[in-house]
Amino acid sequence: MAREIADGVWLLDLGLVPPMATNCFLLDEREMSGGPYDDPSVTLCDVGYWRNRPSLRSELADAGYGPADLDRVLLTHYDLDHVTGLARLAPEFDGPVYVGAPDYRLLTGDADPPLLHHKGLFHRVARRLFPLPDRFDVRPVADGERVGRFTAYVTPGHNPGHAVYVHDAGVALLGDLVWGNGDLTVPFWLDSYDVAESRASVRSVVERAPPFDVAAMSHGTPLVRDGSDALRALADGFDDDGGVTGPE
């Protein structure tokens, strides 16, 4: 069931049990701290699988919204549990859909992931079987680009074009940059392109993003306070070679 984890920030719990479950998030600037905003927007981050129980539409309805209420969709990266539910927003939603530029190029065929890499091979197959629907206005987002009141940080490692979106009100949409139930960790090697690069991306967000309270990750329990401190603690546990000095 959808639940409000901070003012104007809704957790949409899609799927039954891990790993067939993904946290998606809705942000309504009319209710968020830091307002009132001129021309407030409603943003959905990630959309789950093509079929979820509970469904994307039912979770939106639980929060009091429908697809037509959305101004934009932010995709943290191209993996099936984050993007294939997009078609469930048709036909009412007609706003822009943003995805990190390297993953956008992967989707369009302008870039090919490595054939001999386990996740690269998977994506070569997946993009043919599960392309993003042509009816949507999908746009690449660059590192540091502003999308409304969000700043996008391209954070490779889990995916080449994985992106984190940090709202000015102190909400970080982390996607699969980290997972966590209590302690945070980066995704393990089988679900990543490069774990060392993921750790470097965690450090990059810590160094470049403004402080945030809400750390909204796609798998695990979102943090509703001191989120940037928790991410910094994880980064501080990495050794100089990109490993960790303690248990993940």
pLDDT at residue 51, rounded to an integer: 84
Domain contains 120: yes
- Please give the DSSP secondary-structure letter assigned to residue 71: S
Q: Domain for residue 169, yes or no?
A: yes
Q: Phi, psi (5° rounding) for residue 185?
A: -150, 160
The pLDDT score that the predictor gives to residue 240 is 57
Give, in order, the Cα–Cα distances in Å from 108 to each of 8, 9, 137, 212. 34, 31, 13, 33
Pinpoint the alpha helices (H) of the chain: 56-63, 80-83, 101-108, 118-129, 195-208, 227-236
Distances, alpha carbon 43 to alpha carbons 16, 28, 120, 185, 193, in Å: 24, 7, 29, 26, 28
* Single-letter code of the amino acid located at 90: A
The verdict on residue 221 lying in a domain is yes
Query: How many domains does one find in the chain?
Result: 1
Blockwise average pLDDT, block size 10, the chain, 248 residues = 96 76 95 94 96 89 97 97 95 97 96 94 96 95 98 98 98 97 90 96 98 96 96 89 44
* Beta carbons within 10 angstroms of residue 129's beta carbon: 8
In a domain, 248, yes or no: no
| Inter-residue contact 31 to 65 (CB < 8 Å) | no
- Per-residue model confidence (pLDDT) at position 19: 60
Q: Please, what is the Cα angle at 78 between 223 and 72, to 5 degrees?
A: 70
Q: How far apart are CA 160 and CA 198, in angstroms?
A: 10
What range defines the domain where residue 187 resides?
3-236
| 118, part of any domain | yes
Element (H, E) at 76: none
Candidates 14, 43, 25; CA nearest to 174 is 25
Q: Does residue 15 lie in a domain region?
A: yes
pTM beyond cutoff 0.75: yes
Residue 241 lies in a domain: no
- Write the CATH number for 13: 3.60.15.10
- Mention every residue, 6+ apart, whose C-beta is less than 8 A from residue 195: 157, 186, 187, 188, 189, 242
244 part of a folded domain: no
Torsion angles phi and psi, residue 232, rounded to 5: -65, -40
CB 97 within 8 A of CB 83: no
